[in-house]
DNA sequence: GACATCGCAGACAGTGTGTCTCGTAAAATT
DNA sequence: AATTTTACGAGACACACTGTCTGCGATGTC
């Protein structure tokens, strides 16, 4: 409920905007994304329908804006966690752990699921790529120092991490999320027991880094 | 376009039903799940709008039916792959690899994403649990023989596998998908280099199996 | 050939959409 | 304190989609 006439005008608009986003997310989580209507949102948020159209052109835009807000918040939290240590391995593990718990907390609010639903939008794709980039850079640094495997490109490993971490939403406890991070980290380390070896003998067809554009289809 | 009056009547109904599912999936992938309407589907499928209502009550039901068909097909393929070997480790790897390629092929059709969007429906949840069960059983057997880690419950490891594998849809090539399976398998094996050890000394707080319901929040 | 089904087209009320106007109340400006 | 700017809510409007029903023709089954 946006209190009528907040102190300053800009603060008021921001409060209304946030209220719209929150109520929309609630309605989407409750009755399904497809059934959310502008009329519902306006009524539930306690504002006029015409007023709602002065904030957002349609439901899709509101869902996008909600997602943007989520991603921005999460990125900030993760960056903060990352900058609390220096070593690449520790940094990555801390970030993965934080993301696992974020995934867990935002379950039920259709956190990642809504993102998947909106995935055809390029803005959402770019938002996810920011996360991807953060993880990838940590992985690349860890690969140079030998902490992580070098037979798979950091790009692909980052994809692996992010998708595997979304599974945290389905886990029953925080302790299970911790175990998930452990398992994921196991996949990231060198398969060969060569703690100091820079380039372990790859066991398969792969050699060096693969970034993209090999045998397709 | 379902040819008017197929040979037998039941075959015709099935053909029409499939055509409806296909065109709905196309429309959803093209213009977004929210914008798909019964009118569009009927027109695109080349059938009357009233006729469409004799097959499905609303768009949601069509999307659910489409998802059911996908899951059924995939489960069949995976079971077939699984039954071509005997040893647990090989079985799991074969299944994971097959699922990775399925994920890759069904990208762009909003394969997994649509499933996530529909996730609040219990039928979808149960469908995913069938997959989950198949993986979990293979993991449990592999854990008994010492092929896989025993410090994390097969249930949680199965969650890890399934979510990590959905990342295959974002990978650029089949070869990358193969590498992804390799990485995932690394996470599944024992962390300690104890190839014959049945119960390796777990390095953390965990001991034995965790299935669910430990320290929450 | 008689009957049951299926399909399409059209009509119908109900509801959400997107846009507009108008009157009002609060904020910012002077 | 008076004035202007800004935002709000209510109502009206044409348009589109929905869900249901009717009538008529075509096809498969008995």
Q: Least CB-CB distance to A214: which of B113, B164, B173? A: B173
The answer to whether strand D lies under 7 Å from the CB of residue B35 is no
**Are B39 and B64 members of one domain?**
no
Q: Which residues of A touch B217 (CB under 8 A)?
A: 173-174
Dihedral pair phi/psi, residue A172, rounded to 5° = -85, -20
In a domain, B150, yes or no: yes
Whether B34 and chain A come into contact, CB under 8 Å, resolves to yes
Query: pLDDT tens for residues B45-80?
Result: 999 999 999 999 999 999 999 988 998 999 999 999
d(CA A61, CA B214): 40
**Are A53 and A143 members of one domain?**
no
In a domain, B206, yes or no: no
3-state SS string for A119-141: CCCHHHHHHHHHHHHHHHHHHHH
Pick A71 or B211 by higher pLDDT: A71
Position B206 scores a pLDDT of: 41
pLDDT band at B119 (very low <50, low <70, confident <90, very high): low
Q: Is A6 exposed, middle or buried (0-12, 13-18, 19+ CB in 10 A)?
A: middle
How would DSSP label each residue in B62-112? HHHHHHHHHHHHHHHHHHHHHTT--SHHHHHHHHHHHHHHHHHHTTTTTHH
**Are B46 and B88 members of one domain?**
no
Position A4 scores a pLDDT of: 52
**Are B138 and B166 members of one domain?**
yes
How would DSSP label each residue in A125-181? HHHHHHHHHHHHHHHHHHHHTTSS-SSS-HHHHHHHHHHHHHGGGG-SSHHHHHHHH
Q: Calculate what percentage of chain B has a pLDDT beyond 90.
A: 58
Taking CB atoms and an 8 Å cut-off, how many pairs form between chains A and B? 159
CATH number of B92's domain = 1.10.357.10
Position B43 scores a pLDDT of: 94
Nucleic acid strand D: bases within 7 A of protein CB: 6-12, 16-22, 26-29
Position A22 scores a pLDDT of: 95
Q: Which of B34, B57, B80 is the last residue of a domain?
A: B57
**10-residue stretch averages of pLDDT, chain A, 217 residues long:** 62 92 92 92 94 95 91 93 93 95 78 63 82 94 91 95 91 94 91 45 42 44
The answer to whether strand D lies under 7 Å from the CB of residue B7 is yes
Q: Which residue of B has its CA nearest to A129?
A: B170
The CA–C1' separation of B13 and C7, in angstroms, is 11
d(CA B50, CA A154): 53
**Are B98 and B178 members of one domain?**
yes
Position A108 scores a pLDDT of: 62
Q: Which of B21, B36, B57 is the last residue of a domain?
A: B57
In a domain, A210, yes or no: no
- What's the Cα-to-Cα distance from A52 to each of A18, A30, A48, A208, rounded to whole Å? 12, 20, 6, 54
**Are B100 and B171 members of one domain?**
yes
Range of the domain at A169: 60-190
Is it the case that residue B214 has pLDDT exceeding 60? no
Position A192 scores a pLDDT of: 56
Mutate to test the interface with A, among B155, B164, B168, B213 (most CBs of A within 10 A): B164
Nearest to A162, CA basis, from A66, A75, A86, A33: A75
d(CA A167, CA B167): 11
In a domain, B197, yes or no: no
Position A5 scores a pLDDT of: 57
Is the CB of A213 less than 8 angstroms away from the CB of B172?
A: yes
pLDDT band at B165 (very low <50, low <70, confident <90, very high): very high
Average pLDDT over residues B127-133: 89
Is it the case that residue B190 has pLDDT exceeding 80? no
Is it the case that residue B4 has pLDDT exceeding 80? no
d(CA B61, CA B84): 35
**Are B105 and B2 members of one domain?**
no
Position A212 scores a pLDDT of: 42
**Are B15 and B80 members of one domain?**
no
**Are A78 and A116 members of one domain?**
yes
User: Would you state the structure tokens that stand for residue A174, as one six-digit string?
Assistant: 């925080």
Position A8 scores a pLDDT of: 75
Is it the case that residue B181 has pLDDT exceeding 60? yes
Is it the case that residue B22 has pLDDT exceeding 50? yes
In a domain, B203, yes or no: no
A8 nearest nt, CA–C1': C27
pLDDT band at B29 (very low <50, low <70, confident <90, very high): confident
Question: Which positions ≥6 away from B209 have C-beta within 8 Å?
Answer: B150, B153
In a domain, B209, yes or no: no
In a domain, A212, yes or no: no
**Are B171 and B66 members of one domain?**
yes
d(CA B105, CA B146): 33
**Are A82 and A147 members of one domain?**
yes
Position B76 scores a pLDDT of: 94
Residues 178-197 in B contacting A (C-alpha not used; CB under 8 Å): 178-180, 182-189, 191, 193
CATH number of A39's domain = 1.10.10.60
B8 nearest nt, CA–C1': D28
The nearest CA of chain A is from the CA of B172 a distance in Å of 6
**Are A134 and A41 members of one domain?**
no
Position B215 scores a pLDDT of: 44
Average pLDDT over residues B126-130: 86
Is it the case that residue B19 has pLDDT exceeding 80? yes
In a domain, A23, yes or no: yes
Q: Count up the domains in chain B and report the number.
A: 2
């Amino acid at each position: 409920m946006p209190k009528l006439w907040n102190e300053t005008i800009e603060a008021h608009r921001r409060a209304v905007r946030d209220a719209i986003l929150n109520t929309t997310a609630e309605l989407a989580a409750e009755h399904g994304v497809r059934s959310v209507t502008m009329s519902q949102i306006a009524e539930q948020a306690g504002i006029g329908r015409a007023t709602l159209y002065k904030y957002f052109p349609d439901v899709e835009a509101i869902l996008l804006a909600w997602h943007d807000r989520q991603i921005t918040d999460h990125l900030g939290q993760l960056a903060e966690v990352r900058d609390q240590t220096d070593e690449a391995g520790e940094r990555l593990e801390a970030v993965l752990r934080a993301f696992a718990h974020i995934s867990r907390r935002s379950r039920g609010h259709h956190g990642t699921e809504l993102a998947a639903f909106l995935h055809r939008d390029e803005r959402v794709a770019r938002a996810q790529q920011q996360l991807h980039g953060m993880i990838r850079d940590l992985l690349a640094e860890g690969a140079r120092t030998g902490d992580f495997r070098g037979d798979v490109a950091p790009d692909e490993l980052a994809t692996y991490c992010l998708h595997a971490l979304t599974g945290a939403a389905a886990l029953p406890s925080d302790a299970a999320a911790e175990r998930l991070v452990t398992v994921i980290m196991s996949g990231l380390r060198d398969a060969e027991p060569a703690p100091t070896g820079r380039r372990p003998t790859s066991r398969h067809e792969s050699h060096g880094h693969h970034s993209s554009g090999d045998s397709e289809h």
